[in-house]
Amino acid sequence: MIQQKVISKRFGKVDPLSIDSYIKFDGYNALEKALTMHPTQIIDEIEKSKIRGRGGAGFPAHIKARALANAKQPKYIVCNADEGEPGNFKDRIIMENDPFSILEGMVILAYATGAKKGYIYIRGEYQNAIKIMKMTIQNAIDKGYLGENILNKGFDFNLEIRTGAGSYVVGEEFSMIESIEGKPGRSRVKPPYPTDKGIHDKPTLINNVETFANFPHIILMGGDNYAKIGTPSSTGTKLISLSGNVKNKGLYEVPFGTSIRDVIFKLGDGVSYNRSIKMVQLGGASGPIIPEYMLDMAIDFERFENFDSKTGTGAIIVIDERFDIFDILLINMNFFVHQSCGKCAPCREGHTQIVNLLNKIKNHRGTEQDLMSLENLANVIQQTSLCGLGQTSMTSIISSLRYFRDDYFAKVRY
Amino acid sequence: MKIKEILSKYPKESEYLIEILLEIQSSSKNHYISSEDVEQISKYLDIPESQICSVTSFYTLLSMNPKGRYVIQVCHDVPCFVNDTTSIYEKLVDMLAIEDGETTEDNLFTLEITECLGCCNEAPAMRVNDQVYTSLTPKKVEKIVKDLRGEEK
Ligand SMILES: Cc1cc2nc3c(=O)[nH]c(=O)nc-3n(C[C@H](O)[C@H](O)[C@H](O)COP(=O)(O)O)c2cc1C
Ligand code: SF4
Ligand code: FES
């Protein structure tokens, strides 16, 4: 068994719209337990679990939780369900299959931090998930698991759904805060961090859907037991969005430390027609592109950090031998041309220049000089952009220059 | 009248602007926000019209120009691309005789190339208004378009 179903254990086994069905399948046991604990004890368990955020950056969850707990009222909790990174669908599948687990995680964190108000920010393309989450919130209120005086313990937590309107950068924390305030989603300069000054300049904690869905399990298992799953630097399980040229595309849950190769071949059943793998992109459009010989790499934050990217979302996109790396890079780069918010120059102007250079090289019109310009420009964008979009968008270019240099030299004119 | 009804559901706070715009747009047959709508929202929330326009121009799902009855958005990111989304797009171009960003003369269809729809596990994918269609083949697309045309008759 290479899968280990913790977050996905209820998928397909409960009626996602029925709170009774959720309760029958261990639902809300964790909240009941959490409410017998002191709020700081909950954050201690989260710290012991060593869980890191599942939205991409892998930030330790307890640090943000403790910062919010120490902040003054009013303060907010946000669930990031914007999921705009190409190749990712895990958050949608959690919302559509086990929506109450997300609410339970949010309420536990609200109790631990003292926040009374929260938002779930869902991308506008996810109409089905939006409908489900709205119904879920209503059901939870009706049964006393959300709203005023939760489970008669005298604590309140209210939730609102906010809908995205088609912007990838809004997944970034400060852009999301601007968007929740009803403005264009342009990022802010950090620090101050959101847990100091977020929505309406009030302390705000943002976590990913999958991160919230983990909290109930941490409370039930205890932090120490949770930390036994996975690897020392990356504890727990990871939902993997497997897509591209594999036979069994889909969502799988594996403990951290599982190899990428095992996910592709044991769970995804390999590539159709026994074609060979040309490249694999990890994390999404802002993740690295690696060659076949690197597939034994373990899924682990520490390994992924070598790439300076948001690989941590757990997307694996398999691309077979029929495809040209320049077509793939151009799709990635055109994505960023469209998604740049335009606030800072390296990102606003840089991506267009990158697209020009790639087109030139792809069409055998590029020189060695162009190759150097591409490399330099990619580094400038990565190092000087204001927010995570420009800081990570060059990962596929930089990694392809490292691992697929021959593809470039085959096209460059001397 | 309809817009007044929508507005009255929301508190008079500018943080609800995007929610209001999305609802007004989805209640419009041509999927857009008119300049009269903007005027009304501006009065209701007591914010300048320019602030509203800065929001509508930032978010790609919001439009100030009328579109067709059915807005077809074909995903064009890597997981769909390697599953031959190009043949899906070409089939649509072929059937509708329009390209990315255009609307048919009868105002029935608008065709758009769009970003990942979060359905890469069932690539290739497209969206028609709020309905997502997955695991597409040119044949499936043909049927979907024919059915939509049929609905209008
Ligand atoms: C351009 C950009 C897009 C992002 N999109 C998302 C997203 O769709 N969902 C998400 O959870 N995090 C996204 N993130 C990461 C968030 O900024 C943030 O780190 C995360 O929501 C924190 O939650 P976590 O600690 O639980 O991972 C994005 C970051 C950047 C820079
Ligand atoms: S890096 Fe790009 S998306 Fe981020 S603030 Fe600068 S222009 Fe905007
Ligand atoms: S790439 Fe098309 S749905 Fe994700």
**Token output for A194:** 């959101």
Q: Which residue has the tokens 């790396």?
A: A325
pLDDT number for residue B151 = 74
Contact indicator for A404, A358 with CB cutoff of 8 Å: no
CATH number of B70-149, picked from 3.40.30.10, 3.40.50.10950, 3.30.70.2660, 3.10.180.10: 3.40.30.10
- What is the CATH topology of the domain spanning A237-320? Ubiquitin-like (UB roll) (3.10.20)
C-alpha angle with apex A56: A255 to A282, nearest 5 degrees? 70
Q: Phi first, then psi: what are they for A348, rounded to 5°? A: -65, -45
Most informative mutation of A170, A177, A187 for ligand 2 (most atoms within 8 A of CB)? A187
Q: Phi first, then psi: what are they for A254, rounded to 5°? A: -130, 155
pLDDT grade for B86, boundaries at 50, 70 and 90: very high
Among partner residues A128, A328, A339, which is closest to B78 by beta-carbon distance? A328
Chain A residues closer than 8 Å to B82 by CB: 244-245, 317, 319-320, 323
pLDDT number for residue B153 = 59
pLDDT tens digits, A75-132: 999 999 999 999 999 999 999 999 999 999 999 999 999 999 999 999 999 999 999 9
From B85's Cα to the closest Cα of chain A, the distance in A is 12
Architecture of domain A325-409: Up-down Bundle (1.20)
Q: Which residue has the tokens 């968008």?
A: A393
Mean pLDDT within A173-192:
95
pLDDT tens digits, A214-250: 999 999 999 999 999 999 999 999 999 999 999 999 9
Residues having CB closer than 6 A to ligand 2 are A 169, 187, 340-344, 347-348, 385-387, 389-390
Classify residue A318 by burial, with Cβ atoms within 10 Å: 0-12, 13-18, 19+: buried
Give chain A's mean pLDDT: 96
Alpha carbons A58 and A140: distance in angstroms, whole number: 29
Contact indicator for A149, B2 with CB cutoff of 8 Å: no
Classify residue A27 by burial, with Cβ atoms within 10 Å: 0-12, 13-18, 19+: buried
Strand B70-75 with B126-128, pairing:
antiparallel
pLDDT tens digits, B110-153: 999 999 999 999 999 999 999 999 999 999 999 999 999 987 65
Among partner residues A186, A251, A331, which is closest to B77 by beta-carbon distance? A331
Mean pLDDT within A194-198:
96
Distance A259 CA to ligand 1 centre (A): 24
Chain A residues closer than 8 Å to B18 by CB: 162-163, 165, 179, 182
Domain regions of chain B by residue span:
3-58, 70-149
CATH 3.10.20.600 in chain A: give the residue spans: 237-320
Contact check, Cβ <8 Å, A285/B17 = no
CATH 3.40.50.11540 in chain A: give the residue spans: 19-227
Q: Phi first, then psi: what are they for A363, rounded to 5°? A: -90, 25
pLDDT tens digits, A274-317: 999 999 999 999 999 999 999 999 999 988 888 877 678 999 99
pLDDT number for residue B152 = 64
The yes-or-no verdict on residue A414 having pLDDT over 80 is no
3-state secondary structure of A343: coil
pLDDT tens digits, B25-59: 999 999 999 999 999 999 999 999 999 999 999 99
pLDDT number for residue A309 = 72
Q: What is the DSSP string of A179-224?
A: HHTTS------SSS-TTTS-GGGS-EEEEEHHHHHHHHHHHHH-HH
Architecture of domain A19-227: 3-Layer(aba) Sandwich (3.40)
Q: Which ligand 1 atom lies nearest to the CA of residue A58? A: 27
Alpha carbons B82 and A52: distance in angstroms, whole number: 31
State which H helix or E strand residue A333 sits in: helix A325-339
pLDDT number for residue B67 = 98
From B11's Cα to the closest Cα of chain A, the distance in A is 13
Best of A128, A132, A183 to mutate (most B CBs within 10 Å, chain B): A183
pLDDT number for residue A199 = 98
pLDDT number for residue B143 = 97
Q: What is the DSSP string of chain B?
A: -HHHHHHHTS-S-GGGHHHHHHHHHHHSTTS---HHHHHHHHHHHT--HHHHHHHHHH-TT--SS---SEEEEEE-SHHHHTTTHHHHHHHHHHHH---TT-B-TTS-EEEEEE---S-GGG-S-EEETTEEE-S--HHHHHHHHHHHHHHT-
pLDDT number for residue A165 = 97
From A152's Cα to the closest Cα of chain B, the distance in A is 29
**Token output for A101:** 């687990």
**Omega prior to A74 cis, within 30 of 0:** yes
Contact indicator for A257, A303 with CB cutoff of 8 Å: no
**Token output for A216:** 């109930």
Alpha carbons A167 and A171: distance in angstroms, whole number: 8
Most informative mutation of A49, A68, A92, A206 for ligand 1 (most atoms within 8 A of CB)? A206
CA distances from A88 to A214, A300, B133 (A): 18, 17, 17
